[in-house]
Amino acid sequence: MIEVKHLLKNYGKYRAVNDISFKVETGEVLGFLGPNGAGKSTTMNMITGYISATSGEVLIDGFDILVNPKEAKKRIGYLPEIPPVYPDMSVEEYLKFVAELKGVKKAEIKPMLDDIMERIKITHVSGKLIKNLSKGYRQRVGLAQALVGYPEVLILDEPTVGLDPKQIIEIRDFIKELSKSHTIILSSHILSEVSAVCDRVMIIDRGVIVASDTPERLSESLSQNRFRARIKGDKEAILEAFENSEDFISASDSETNEENTVDLIIEGVGDRDTREDIFDTAVENGFKLLLLKSEKLSLEEVFLQVTEGAEHEKPAVMEDENTSNDENTADESTKEPVEFVIDDGQEQSGDAQDETTASPDETAVQQPETHEISETPENNEETNPEIINEKENK
């Protein structure tokens, strides 16, 4: 349905998108994930034909967006980062204009708009001027605009940004409903959204795809056979027992809230059930096992690892495909109530930072990466000049 081949975009000397290729099949929902300035919006703008690529091809249903723009654009509904609404038009007027612009037949316009406004729940504001609407409603009008003409492909650039939690859930449910009959690409830096809605996640960093897989597998591939065990007893003895055992690749100390206990993060060997090994080791040494749970990386940890990993030459996640599908872990990742904004550039970056530090448990979980996570805020600043640079070049 959507085919992107070796897409490349230069802004002067700055390369915003560097040789991206991927395919989205009919009915698939692809999530674009990446820090600010990673090239998400640029890629989307190229797919929709708003800007042209320096080199590379975009095919929508077989039509090249540059060679055959009319046919290709007919099939796309696009919600850009800022909804492209005219403040001095009423909602209905505006949607009617969009319908005419997209060449919808006159007789079909009225029922189509009624249907769309009904579904997005903006019927009651249809007579209002858009400049009098709140941000959330503008966003909805933007979404309605993308749906006009019932295109098969929807490109949504951060569809839930600026909405309140209730609206976010509504829009998310709506996108889920749409995904039954549409091919969708959506970008976001809210990871729970991506894992809740998307069939496949693509993480982009500095214009390059660093990982691409289902949300479950992404987190699994980085966290197989990792467990957290809370054990009662003398710290030194416990550490010694577990570290010397051959059943485990590694066992490391983690912070704990309970007195007289030690939290260990234990990584098991191969296909063996590491839980049994942990239990046995504890019993052999006369320790009491208080807690044993699978230690999964949440999607945001994967995200951090992957986007940071590019610098530190971490093994690429994409190659790890033959992971066994443990149902437990798969379930957990979708259940996890993550409302975690990675870096929203402006005011929210503070929040994101707070959250990383506010959850020492999670940070401590993967000790080798701890320093990287705490690096995030600085890293933002590093990328900022690039963002500014990009704007200037535009």
Partner 1 sequence: MKAIYKREIKMYFNSMIGYVFIAFFVLITAIYFSVGNILQMSPDFQNVFSSVIMMFLILAPMLTMRLLSEEKKQKTDQLLLTSPVSVPGIVLGKYFAAVTIFLIALLITVIFPVILSFFGTLATAQIIGSYVGFFLLGSAFIAVGLWISSIADNQIIAAVATFVVIFLLLMVETIISSASGNISFSLTFAGILALLVALYVYSNTKNAEVSVIVFVIEAAAILVLFFVKKSLFAGFAGKFAKMFAVLTRFNNFAAGLFDIASVVYFISFIVVFLYFTVRVIEKRRWS
Binding site for partner 1 (CB under 8 A): 11, 45, 48-52, 69-71, 73-74, 76, 78, 80, 82, 84-89, 93, 97-98, 100-103, 145, 393-394
What do you get for the CA distance between the two ends of the chain, in Å? 30
CB of 130 to partner 1, least distance (A): 10
Q: How far apart (Å, rounded) are the C-alpha atoms in residues 161 and 187?
A: 10
Structure tokens at 229: 């065990």
Backbone phi, then psi, for 161, in 5-degree steps?
Answer: -65, 135
CB of 17 to partner 1, least distance (A): 15
> Closer CB to partner 1, residue 78 or residue 242?
78
Q: How far apart (Å, rounded) are the C-alpha atoms in residues 296 and 332?
A: 8
CB of 71 to partner 1, least distance (A): 8
> Closer CB to partner 1, residue 45 or residue 274?
45
> Closer CB to partner 1, residue 130 or residue 241?
130
> Closer CB to partner 1, residue 69 or residue 350?
69
CB of 275 to partner 1, least distance (A): 52
Q: With contact defined as beta carbons under 8 Å apart, do 302 and 219 qualify?
A: yes
> Closer CB to partner 1, residue 41 or residue 195?
41
> Closer CB to partner 1, residue 142 or residue 268?
142
CB of 262 to partner 1, least distance (A): 55
> Closer CB to partner 1, residue 2 or residue 98?
98
Q: With contact defined as beta carbons under 8 Å apart, do 53 and 144 qualify?
A: no
> Closer CB to partner 1, residue 63 or residue 279?
63
Q: How far apart (Å, rounded) are the C-alpha atoms in residues 254 and 48?
A: 48
CB of 99 to partner 1, least distance (A): 8
Does residue 318 sit in helix, strand or coil?
A: coil
CB of 50 to partner 1, least distance (A): 5
HSE value, Cβ hemisphere, 13 Å, CA-based, for 126: 17
Give every CB contact of residue 65 below 8 A, 6+ residues apart in sequence: 46, 47, 48, 49, 58, 59, 72, 73
CB of 12 to partner 1, least distance (A): 8
CB of 42 to partner 1, least distance (A): 12
Cα torsion 334, 183, 156, 106: sign: negative
Does residue 259 sit in helix, strand or coil?
A: coil
Question: Which residue is associated with the tokens 């990871």?
Answer: 191
Give every CB contact of residue 37 below 8 A, 6+ residues apart in sequence: 383, 384, 386, 387, 390
> Closer CB to partner 1, residue 22 or residue 50?
50
CB of 199 to partner 1, least distance (A): 24
> Closer CB to partner 1, residue 71 or residue 344?
71
Using H for helix, E for strand and C for coil, what is the string for 131-196? HHCCHHHHHHHHHHHHHCCCCCEEEEECCCCCCCHHHHHHHHHHHHHHCCCCEEEEEECEHHHHHH
Structure tokens at 41: 């919006």
HSE value, Cβ hemisphere, 13 Å, CA-based, for 300: 23
